[in-house]
Amino acid sequence: MDFINEKYISELLEDTRLNDRSLQKDVLKRSREAKGLTLKESASLLNITSPDLLEELFHTAREVKEKIYGNRLVLFAPLYVTNSCINNCLYCAFRKDNSLLKRKTLTIDEIKSEIEFLVRQGHKRVLLVAGEHPKKSNLQFIHDAIDAIYSIHLNGGNIRRVNVNTAPLSVDEFKILKSFGIGTYQCFQETYHYETYQQMHPSGPKHDYSWRLYAMDRALQAGIDDVGIGALFGLTDCKFETLALLNHAFNLDDRFGIGPHTISIPRLEPAFNAPLSHKPPFAVDDSSFKKLLAVIRLAVPYTGIILTTRERAELRREMFSLGVSQISAGSRTSPGAYKESQDIMEEHEMEQFQLGDHRTLDEVVKDCCVLGFLPSFCTACYRSSRTGDRFMELAKSGNIGKLCVPNAISTFDEYLIDYASDSTKKVGGDFVTKEIEKLDGVTKSKTMKMLERVESGERDVYY
């Protein structure tokens, strides 16, 4: 745990000089350059409480998000392949000691039918999620699962990027995982606070804080360029957790020349028969949650921020503009739950935690357009080797938008033609027209040509 400097973070949180209005205003001014912040500057912004400065913080986060990412929101769905687990995390329904949870590991045929369901909804990106289990979720199984996911093609629709959220591996195992054709490897530290970590993870391999903390080092050493970090908010003080999460991001950037591709900010949700989750020890209210999102956006302007359907629809809407760049939609958190015949009680007895946003992909997509966000189903970057430092270079030079906007528009158009309901087609179609009008001459004509190809029946059009 040597690079998470608990002592320094605690000192920053106790330093009353960082609770100074003129300092906070200066930091906000500097944030507008979208060059990132130090830990100290981030700590000063986390101290903001006055409504006017809080509004200025949100406004600045909106500006920076718009500058780097524009109004795009990338969509994905999780796929839970097993809820068997040998760990005992106090907050999770999948914990080993939860004898009331119905255990299920999908067969390859079941994985294929889940993917058929997701492809029929219009999804192009899947996040494969698994409990940690030496037999049920070993590397061979993950390999077969990923192969099964990529194998499904339905009328031009298919999953084009599989990200994974699984237990940490050794360098050699990560090399094998990379060879399966994954996009991002995600693993959340849950809490960076060492003592709290030990309490929350009383047994199993996950008890080892350092093995988990250095997972991203090993993944990067193994050549996985895109790694996603995160913390489970609610386990310890959220200001501490935010600074430690940023500490991790800065540290990866310093040592490997690439920061994390994404940061996830799950909040602890109620989980079936989990001792802790119905009463988070450090519950994070909505206002603090929005504040920490805005601070992360300003501290690491080029890192994607993921928000899942754990959160309620109304809050998700507010958070889109504060810096979120990827969202899940139409999600289920138990293995096999996408199958339309799933009985709702049975699903509850197998799910990881309760969801806050139950809307379908179509409803979320339409809502994004109404709110002025462009839904993107793009998966071009990693298939064009724009990962790791190559992605960062493009992002930092301001050029990623030139590629992403046309790709977002063409994949969204594909979604509208193939999957959208009539009302979403109408709202989405008008939205696409407006988005094209905003483009400069060259990008506009490139995008128009891509749209012509999509509309004449070609699929997976990107550059």
Binding site for ligand SF4 (CB under 6 A): 85, 87, 89, 92, 94-95, 131-132, 206
Q: Which of 69, 117, 141, 188 binds ligand SAM (CB under 6 A)?
A: 188
> SS3 breakdown of the chain: % helix, strand, coil, rounded to 5?
50, 10, 40
With CB under 6 A as the contact rule, which of the stretches 25-33, 102-110, 139-147, 268-276 interacts with ligand SAM?
268-276
Please, what's the b/e burial string for 263-281 (b: 16 or more CB within 10 A of its CB; e: otherwise)?
bbbbbbbebbebebbeebb
The packing angle between helices 171-179 and 139-151, to 10°, is: 20
In the bound state with ligand SAM, the residue whose beta carbon lies nearer, of 189 and 407, is 189
Q: What count of residues does the chain have?
A: 463
Q: Which of 114, 132, 225, 435 binds ligand SAM (CB under 6 A)?
A: 132
Q: Are 232 and 206 in contact (CB under 8 A)?
A: no
Residue by residue, DSSP assigns 327-361 as: EE-S---STTTTSTT--HHHHHTT-SS--S----H
Q: Are 83 and 101 in contact (CB under 8 A)?
A: yes
Query: Which tokens belong to 182?
Result: 């994954």
In the bound state with ligand SF4, the residue whose beta carbon lies nearer, of 336 and 375, is 336
- Tell me whether residue 407 is exposed, middle or buried, using C-beta atoms within 10 angstroms of its C-beta: 0 to 12, 13 to 18, 19 or more: buried
Q: Which does 129 bind (CB under 5 to 8 A by kind): ligand SAM, ligand SF4, none?
A: ligand SAM
131 scored as a contact of ligand SAM (CB under 6 A):
yes
Q: Which does 148 bind (CB under 5 to 8 A by kind): ligand SF4, ligand SAM, none?
A: none
Q: How far is the CB of 166 from ligand SAM (least distance, A)?
A: 5
Under DSSP, the state recorded for 19 is: S
Q: How far apart are CA 355 and CA 347, in angstroms?
A: 12
353 scored as a contact of ligand SAM (CB under 6 A):
yes
Q: Which does 166 bind (CB under 5 to 8 A by kind): ligand SF4, ligand SAM, none?
A: ligand SAM
Q: How far is the CB of 209 from ligand SF4 (least distance, A)?
A: 13
Of 430, 444, 398, the C-alpha closest to 35 is: 398
Q: How far is the CB of 188 from ligand SF4 (least distance, A)?
A: 9
Q: Which does 184 bind (CB under 5 to 8 A by kind): ligand SAM, ligand SF4, none?
A: none
Q: Which of 37, 39, 46, 167 binds ligand SAM (CB under 6 A)?
A: 167
Instruction: Using CB under 6 A, count the residues that bind ligand SAM.
Output: 21
Q: Which does 165 bind (CB under 5 to 8 A by kind): ligand SAM, ligand SF4, none?
A: ligand SAM
Under DSSP, the state recorded for 103 is: P
Under DSSP, the state recorded for 91 is: T
Amino acid at 374: L
Please, what's the b/e burial string for 410-437 (b: 16 or more CB within 10 A of its CB; e: otherwise)?
bbbbbbbbbbbeeebbebbeebbeebbe
352 scored as a contact of ligand SAM (CB under 6 A):
yes
92 scored as a contact of ligand SAM (CB under 6 A):
yes
Q: How far is the CB of 298 from ligand SAM (least distance, A)?
A: 24
337 scored as a contact of ligand SAM (CB under 6 A):
no
310 scored as a contact of ligand SAM (CB under 6 A):
yes
With CB under 6 A as the contact rule, which of the stretches 106-114, 162-170, 235-243, 428-436 interacts with ligand SAM?
162-170
In the bound state with ligand SF4, the residue whose beta carbon lies nearer, of 59 and 103, is 103
3-class SS string, 136-157 = CCCHHHHHHHHHHHHHCEECCE
Here's the x/- map for ligand SAM, 228-257, by CB under 6 A: it reads as ----x-------------------------
Q: How far is the CB of 168 from ligand SF4 (least distance, A)?
A: 10
Q: Is 439 helix (H, G, I), strand (E, B) or coil?
A: coil
Q: How far apart are CA 396 and CA 301, in angstroms?
A: 9
Q: Which does 95 bind (CB under 5 to 8 A by kind): ligand SAM, ligand SF4, none?
A: ligand SF4
Q: Which does 338 bind (CB under 5 to 8 A by kind): ligand SAM, ligand SF4, none?
A: none
H or E element, residue 228? strand 227-230
Q: How far apart are CA 221 and CA 214, in angstroms?
A: 11
Q: How far is the CB of 150 from ligand SAM (least distance, A)?
A: 20
Write out the residues near ligand SAM by the rule CB under 6 A. 91-92, 129-132, 165-167, 187-188, 190, 232, 266, 268-269, 271, 277, 310, 352-353
